[in-house]
Structure 1
Amino acid sequence: MENKIQKPKAIILAAGEGTRLRPYTLDRPKCLVEVEGKSLLDRQLAVLATERVTEVALIGGYKAEMLKRDGISLHLNPRYYETNMVWTLFCAEPSLEGGALLCYGDIVYSRQALQALLAAPGDIAVTIDLDWEVYWRARNEDPLDDAETLKLAADGRILEIGQKPKSLAEIEGQYMGLIKLSALGARQLRQVFHESSAQGSLRGKPPEKAYMTDLLQAMIDLGYRLDSVPVRGGWVEVDTVSDLESEVTRARLSEIESGL
């Protein structure tokens, strides 16, 4: 088991247009939307820096020129307007070599969540929030809105992820958009992607349209082990205008910042 990333590095997926955040994303990428004067990207980079994760690759698309920063490599998904997360990731495929953290650009997580992920054994480790329901109820009238299934084995292995739930019982935790791949895990992920691309289908979708959870579930279906890294809260997703303007978002971000 290759459970260590020799030199921690992060790949941040930040190519999307953020249409559900308009008008705030009319002039900037989603990850540069600010809460109390500080962008989501800057907040995430500050957390990564606490654990010396300073090698960062950003994958941009929409208004990508605004993502240029000293010391950070910028990769482009020129088809950002018609593709999803998996395609964006593989626009920077060489960055996966040796393993990496995969992070969504519209999330911020606590230092404690990052520490738990970095310490997790296993070649593919996926952070999940056990206290997701409280957070989802604060964001949606119906907690099943925008939630996804997540089923676990007794030993923490993920059995199902990313499907549309019919009941709360199908959600044992919520996927956060934060993954750790060892060198072996990264090779396995790449192999499944390329095999699916050759077939023209990733769980019934064109690879260009696949979500990250589609790729993770495809790996589970093929017998690869994905380990959950459970946390309780300590993260924020800013996906909509109501998220951005929410006092819950501000409170959770303040708590994250106080722990740095």
Structure 2
Amino acid sequence: MRVIILAAGLGSRLRPHTDVVPKCLVKLGGKPLIQYQLEALHQAGINTADIAICSGYLSEKLEYLNIKLFKNEIYDKSNMVESLFCGESHMQEGEDLLICYSDIVYEPQLIKSLINTQGEVVVSADLDWLKLWSHRMDNPLDDAETFKTDNGRICELGEKPDSYDDIEAQFVGLIKVSGSRISQFIDFYRDLKQKSVYQEPSVQSMYMTSLLSALIANDWVVVPSYHHGGWVEVDTLDDLKTYQSMYDQRRLDGLVRLPSLE
């Protein structure tokens, strides 16, 4: 199992915290977000040597982790897919690839479930997403994205929903690509760069959900790994304040169990 953590972005919605550190080093409960991730990965049986971070903004702040770093030199002009393939040399044919957003905190069980679910591409999907979104905002539908399946395969995700009926679950920011398809995964990305068949103006600005949608449109077997909660996304200052308040009141374990609360 190879792991790439995407941590290149500016994290502008978490300023002023991200004025001095990248988003993944913002602290919740006194500990950087990425430390929770690394602990969850280790508890799921993944070795540090198999983990890499695709960094960008304030990349040097991550050197203390002693984890393999790849830098997206155009982090301020690009998005997650560009960052992911900065770490292409870390991808290994025959070894499953786990792709992790860096602004989420999750329990080890989410990783274990992802590993144990079969598919060319497996996407972690929260069936209880509304519980989390209701803590984060007054109208969850304003921020949520579509997630639809057909015969056990994901047929749509990442679009603006018209109603809650368009949302069977919510994409978490954890993806597994089967080791048997790594070479084809890399080739698919390179082909996208040549053909420009995606939503964004350039592949540099391509979102991860757009890449997944392109795979789906090209008949890749993309399936969900369902779970009920067990994670949080720290995307904005309001998110951080909400979770920190819940942590201080020892209520955060109602959303995700952090090591300090177990």
Residue aligned with 1:88, SS: helix
Q: Does 1:240 align with 2:227?
A: no
- Given the alignment, which residue of 25, 29, 43 partners 2:22? 29
Residue aligned with 2:235, SS: coil
Aligned residues: CA RMSD: 1.7
Q: TM-score when scaled to structure 1?
A: 0.92
Q: 1:145: Cα distance to partner?
A: 2.0
Q: Percent identity?
A: 40
- Given the alignment, which residue of 93, 96, 101 partners 2:98? 101
Q: 1:184: Cα distance to partner?
A: 2.6
Cα pair 1:14 1:29 within 8 Å, conserved: yes
Alignment of structure 1 residues 85-100 onto 2, 5 Å: 85-98=80-93, 99-100=96-97
The letter for the 1-side match of 2:122 is: A
Q: Please give the alpha-carbon distance, in whole angstroms, between the structure 2 residues aligned to 1:90 and 1:171.
A: 29
Q: 1:107: Cα distance to partner?
A: 0.6
Cα pair 2:10 2:76 within 8 Å, conserved: yes
The answer for the alignment partner of 1:4 in structure 2 is none
Q: 1:179: Cα distance to partner?
A: 0.6
Q: 1:201: Cα distance to partner?
A: 4.0
The alpha-carbon distance between structure 1 residues 249 and 92, as it changes in their structure 2 partners (threshold 3 A), is farther
Q: Please give the alpha-carbon distance, in whole angstroms, between the structure 2 residues aligned to 1:145 and 1:188.
A: 35
Q: Please give the alpha-carbon distance, in whole angstroms, between the structure 2 residues aligned to 1:204 and 1:12.
A: 22
Q: TM-score when scaled to structure 2?
A: 0.91
Cα pair 2:6 2:53 within 8 Å, conserved: yes
The letter for the 1-side match of 2:101 is: Y
The answer for the alignment partner of 2:207 in structure 1 is 211
Q: 1:140: Cα distance to partner?
A: 1.1
Q: Please give the alpha-carbon distance, in whole angstroms, between the structure 2 residues aligned to 1:147 and 1:65.
A: 33
The answer for the alignment partner of 1:173 in structure 2 is 169
Q: 1:188: Cα distance to partner?
A: 3.1
Q: Does 1:17 align with 2:10?
A: yes
The answer for the alignment partner of 1:62 in structure 2 is 57
CA displacement 1:188-231 (0-9 Å, x = unmatched): 32222111101234235310111000000001011111010000
The answer for the alignment partner of 2:35 in structure 1 is 42
Residue aligned with 1:144, SS: helix
CA displacement 1:34-75 (0-9 Å, x = unmatched): 012100000100000112212210011000001114541000
Cα pair 2:232 2:256 within 8 Å, conserved: no
Q: Please give the alpha-carbon distance, in whole angstroms, between the structure 2 residues aligned to 1:137 and 1:184.
A: 39
Residue aligned with 2:18, SS: coil
The letter for the 2-side match of 1:18 is: G
Q: Please give the alpha-carbon distance, in whole angstroms, between the structure 2 residues aligned to 1:22 and 1:221.
A: 37
Cα pair 2:153 2:224 within 8 Å, conserved: yes
Q: Does 1:149 align with 2:143?
A: no
Q: What are structure 2's unaligned runs of at least 5 residues?
A: none
The answer for the alignment partner of 1:255 in structure 2 is 257
Aligned residues: 252
Q: Please give the alpha-carbon distance, in whole angstroms, between the structure 2 residues aligned to 1:185 and 1:195.
A: 15
Cα pair 1:111 1:256 within 8 Å, conserved: no
The letter for the 2-side match of 1:110 is: E
Q: Please give the alpha-carbon distance, in whole angstroms, between the structure 1 residues aligned to 2:223 and 2:154.
A: 6
Q: 1:9: Cα distance to partner?
A: 2.3
